[in-house]
Every structure is written in C-alpha cells, then in structure tokens.
Structure 1
Amino acid sequence: MKIETAEQGAPGRVTEDRIRVLPNAVVVLDGVTSRRPPDRNGGWYATQLADELARLITDADPLTDLLAQAISNLVRRHDLVPGDSPSATAAIVRWTDTTIDALVLCDTPVVAFGQSTRVLEDTRLADLRPDPDILRWKNKPGGYWVAEAEPVAAHQALTASWPRAEIGKVIAATDGVSCGVSEYGLFSWEDLAEMPLGEALDRIREAERGDSEHKRWPRYKTHDDQAIARISP
C-alpha cells in the first residue's frame, strides 16, 4: 500500500484532527471541542481514540465492534460522561489481500475509486444543521451519531466493503477537506484522487479567505482543521 497524508490546523490554533497509519489500516479522526477543560479537548479525545483503535484493529473483526470497544475502553479508563465528554468523528479504512473495508461515523467521509466512484458519507449532522439547538440530537435516535462516551454510537456508523482488486485508490478526509468538494465545489472527488494533497488544502484555505464573512458559503467558522489520507492499494 502507498499511503499519503496531509494535515494542517486552522490558522492560529493547534489542530484537533488526527491520522493514524497502521500496517493494515488508516484511521482519520476529527476531534470536537467540548465544555471539558483544555486538557480534555477534542484533540485529546481524538488522540486517545486513535491510539486505542491502533491497539485494537484486527483483520477480521467488524469495524463497528472495534470502534465500540475503543469507546468503551476510553469511558472506563477516563471516567467519561455521555453528553459532557469531548468527542470525535471517525473514518477507518482497513485492508486485507482481498478486501477493503470502510467505516464512517459523522462527517468524515471515505471515497473509493475504481470503475466508479463510491462515496461513503454520513450526512445526518448536515441534515440537522438548520436546527439551532443541534446538540440535543447528539447520539440520539433521529439525530446524529459521533464517537463520544456512548459505545452504542459505533453501531450507528455507516460501513462498506469492496473487493480490493476493484479499487484503485481510497480517500478518507475530515470535513475541513471534504468541504472543498461537497460545499465549495472547488474540485471533484476524482480531482482529489489525483492532485497533490497539499495543493488541495491550500486551495480550500484560499477560497475560505476570500469568503471571510461567510456569505458565499454559510458556515460557523472561517477555517477548519484539515486532515486527509490517500491510500493506493
């Protein structure tokens, strides 16, 4: 496998996105800031979850089960409380000699490229964004799901499995990168499969600076952290 990655934090802050490259998998997480103290912010949680997944991931166990176990272990080890814990979105890509498996929880999509482009994308958070009190829907039926302090959320993740021989490349990206395709329309998924990853991040930043008042692309903040992994079987 050839694995390329690119990351950068939003200007003026330390990134809370995390990438872990393992012998048989890549994990991409987007830490979500909470009301917890700074030592347990979204970056802290994403680091803990990435490390736990790196320890747990096997070739055969369902990715949902592995994510649930990782969340459960963190809850027990750090006394995390549902609704008052930092959290993270999650994307996992795992491969064997014959298969590529993927998991997506919240807005960190995985895209596989072969004879066609296959987008594994969890849009449940985006679907709720007109609601001003969106947090009341976190990890609840009819709402959106994210890795936090509820292991059951892992079993609400979206999953896919593809024959390895049919896939040319796979991308996993946090929403600070996927917005370049899905929101800003700067390039296509197919473009992102081929272009230098650093160039993609820079083009997104340039577009956001040109819309600093959030008029062209309404959003909560001008810039987001960025992380992307590109895997070539």
Structure 2
Amino acid sequence: MMPEIAIAERAGVGADGHPRPTEDHVVVLDNAVLVLDGATSSEPSQPPGGWYAERLARRLAEDLHVAPEADLTEVLTSAIAALTAEHRLQPQRSPSSTVAAVRWLEDRVDALVLADSPVVGFGGFGVDVVSDDRLARLRRRGMLQTGADVRRRRNAHDGFWVAEADPGAAAHSVRRSWPRADVEAVLLASDGVSIGVDQYELFDWREVLAVSRADGPDAVLAAVRTAEKQDPDGERWPRPKRHDDQALVVVDFESGVIQGLP
C-alpha cells in the first residue's frame, strides 16, 4: 500500500529581498518522493537554480518511472550527465541543486541525500537523520565567504558536493536503507525547513513529525517563518536571505493518501 504523503511548500525571497518563485521542487512517484532545492549560479548568463532543479527532477522522475528499483546513485549520475550534455553545462559555472530522494520497495526503504536537503527516518531504529553536512562545516569555518569560494569548493574533495555539471558528484551522496517493516515515517526537507532544527532550534525532528501529523507540515513552515520575522535583519541567526524557500514532505507508512498536491 502507498504511504500517506503530506506536502507543504512556501516560496522565499531572492538575494535582493524581493519575492520570487520558489526554486524548490517536489515530485511524487508511485514508490518514491524527490525534493530538490536549486541554487543559482553567479554567472549572469546562466539560468536560475530553479530551472536546473525542475529539469533534474523531471529527468530523475522519468528514469525512476522506467526503472523503479534502480540504484539511486546510478539514476542520479545518469540524470546529471544527461542534463549536462543536453544543455552544455560547464562545471563551476552552472546552476546547481540539492537532491533528497526516498524510495520504498517491498522489503526496504532507501534514502539518498546530496547537499543540504536532509532525509529523516523514524521507526524501530529510532530517529535516523540522513544529512550531508559538508556545506555547513565549510560555512562554520568561514570558507564560503564569496562566490569565488563557493565555485572553488563546489564538487571538490576539500569542499562540498551538489548536483551541477559533474555526474561524479552523485557518488558522494549520503545513502541509507532501512527494512520496510521497521519504518514508521520519513521526512524530506529543504534547508529552509531544516534550519528550524539545526540553527534556530525551534524543535527537534521528532517534534517536526509530531507537529506535521497533528497540524499538517505547513505548521512547521509557519513556525520557521514566524521566527525569521522576529529576527528580520539576521542579528540572532545570520543568514543570506530573510526567508529561504521551504519544502517539507512527510511520508507516513501508516495510511495511504496524498495531501498538499494541487
């Protein structure tokens, strides 16, 4: 039986502080969910991160529809390669995207994370946070101060890995598999949501799941936005934008409907 899937999304603001369309993309398949968070290149001639995330999400969805049990790393490698070739993207000069994927099969649930969109599993194993903290570590160490810093460390062994124009980045994804019978629920989040746990400390992941079940996942997004409105200039929580895009998906293996899709 398909799990219950609840989705919440909110657009943030651009670097100039003005509203603009979200660059997060959520895709629901028969046995998988994808969350991608696009990042715009500093090259003005390149399309925005949302353009890249949308096309990569579409390619991943097509490939997983054809081969629903395929290895997730191989699927991501192929999708990045296809997008790079089709649009002649160049490493270090192209838009990019995080990737969070959850796929359920008869005997297991698989998770893949590339860059800072975490997946969180709940079940007999406790709470298992599947996260890629390489970006966060670099930021804490002050190593991503400029656009040049980001370009130099993107998809580099002393930096961080993200979907862009190097298919080899997929091999650096963080992976997890859980026995299907042990999984109660799984969350996928973009960093506009996970910041509420990791930086603002508004709640932990168990509380995120509890709030989502009680009031819907948009209640979690609202709590993060409320905190940001109380710190509009980033004095308490320094951040590049007042509000980032937000996407939160709850995959609950106790029932079987989809909420939040248009």
User: Does TM-score exceed 0.5, indicating one fold?
Assistant: yes
Question: 1:222 maps to what in 2?
Answer: 242
Secondary structure at the counterpart of residue 178 of structure 2: strand
Q: Could you list the runs of 5+ residues in structure 2 that have no partner in the other structure?
A: 14-18, 254-262
Task: Provide structure 1 residue ranges, at least 5 long, that are not aligned to the other structure.
Answer: none
Q: CA shift at 1:39, angstroms?
A: 7.5
Number of the residue aligned with 1:59? 68
Q: Give 1:37 shift.
A: 5.1
Partner Cα separation in structure 2 for residue 226 and residue 60 of structure 1? 28
Q: 1:28-64, CA deviations, whole angstroms, 9 ceiling, x for partnerless residues?
A: 0000011355882101000000000001113332111
How far did residue 134 of structure 1 move?
A: 3.3
RMSD: 1.3
What is residue 27 of structure 1 aligned with on the other side? 34
Judge conservation of contact 1:145–1:156 (CA < 8 Å) in 2.
yes
Question: How many equivalent residue pairs?
Answer: 233
Which deviations, in whole Å up to 9, do the C-alpha atoms of 1:90-147 show, x marking residues without a partner? 1000001111000000000000001300000000001111112233110001210000
- What residue in structure 2 maps to residue 10 of structure 1? 12
Match runs of 1:1-233 below 5 Å? 1-11=3-13, 12-36=19-43, 40-57=47-64, 58-115=67-124, 116-129=126-139, 130-131=142-143, 132=145, 133-195=149-211, 196-233=216-253
Mean alpha-carbon deviation: is it higher for 119-128 or for 7-16?
Answer: 7-16
Deviates more, 1:25-34 or 1:208-217: 208-217
Against the structure 1 CA distance between its residues 153 and 39, is the aligned structure 2 distance closer, same or farther, given a 3 Å change threshold? closer
Alpha carbons of structure 1 residues 13 and 175: separation in structure 2 relative to 1, 3 Å: same
CA contact (8 A) 2:92 2:152 kept: no
- 1:39 and 1:231 map into 2 onto residues whose CA distance is 34
Taking structure 1 as reference, are residues 38 and 10 closer, same or farther at Cα in structure 2, changes over 3 Å only?
A: farther
Take 1:71 and 1:46, find their aligned partners in 2: how far apart are those partners? 11
Alpha-carbon distance change, 39 to 128 in structure 1, aligned in 2, over 3 angstroms = closer
8 A contact 1:59–1:95 mirrored in 2: no
SS in 2 for 1:171: strand
Q: Which runs of 4+ in 1 moved over 4 A?
A: 36-39
Within 1, Cα distance between the matches of 2:88 and 2:103? Answer: 29
Identity level (%): 46
